[in-house]
Structure 1
């Protein structure tokens, strides 16, 4: 897509005389690029006898994010309004990380910022750099929030099974099998991906919904370790979110952690 058309698309979303219609869904759902990628970061090896160390994932920045300082944030607001208006239109820059339309617009904005429109009266290069970092921060948090929601969904199903007095579930293999598949774009799962007994037991099946993360249920003795691996920033380092709980007495309130070295 040329710069003119990218610019026209996003500008049209927010600056028409009528209230813009939200897009049908995220603009990043093209799964044609969802194949294993070369030269991207991979998680450290899992040594069974070595416990993982983690910290609450919401207490630190997603890997690859360089959040704006307070001074930079003030600069963006004070000096870069023309560029923000050009690429976001009437849509708010700080949308909800759970809103598909906001996520889709943010993905489109990144495309425009790669070759920003010429504007008078501002330092376009500087403003584009600040705005790009802010948008990447938003998208990284949105991707991690989606992964965390998937972990909670699996944990709830395991808890329901435990409360029903059923036998614990076996391990469920990672989907997709190669984590680098989600480095360049979302993966669209196939029905066969969730046919293994572990997944049928956990009753998790996103029905082909594009996912920016790899998900897995591991067994460590008498405990579950449910893991979501993702690249919060395209081309950046990997993030491993996980939750561990005993197979008996599954606690749905167990905090979601980010693995740290």
Structure 2
């Protein structure tokens, strides 16, 4: 792949524990092209979030390299919202924009995201006044409002009801169509991976190794309209996960 937005080059990551060294990631080589959404699926605890933290620079590889396009703006949406309780909804968004976007661009992005997430009427509310689903909307809104070039998503839809999940799936796809960012999506749901991604990477139980990369050649919009296309890819991925244990 020429000039990927993100690249893992033979990445290993180990952690020190009371019982010795624990291997979390083993020999991962993976890339995401500009504008590509790559989904990571695998058994619980296999190292998916570790890979996101390596991409974000929160962790460093024990061996190997993680290469991000220079000056690429990065955003991270967590499974559990990381909101500032003393700031309002709008202030939570403006806080993460500081130093990343010019004031006018930041304000325009903030207004648009507040409207698209259904948070505009709650802009002056505090996190304690929001439901769990609204907090998760705000978590995603904060990530999108910085207009990232690389978006890291750690199961941000996992705890949502079906209707809210579909709304936020649509929002993510709309923003991706507008902004053209790359994304690395961790999900426990193979169907979610098939609906949202361009490529699905199936990981082994810990330590994480790549078992298979499934390229979803059919455009996402066509997949949404053709259940047979979704079912075919889904069966393949579920078969790989089942054989991995």
TM-score by length of 2: 0.23
Rg larger for? 1
With normalisation by structure 1, the TM-score equals 0.22
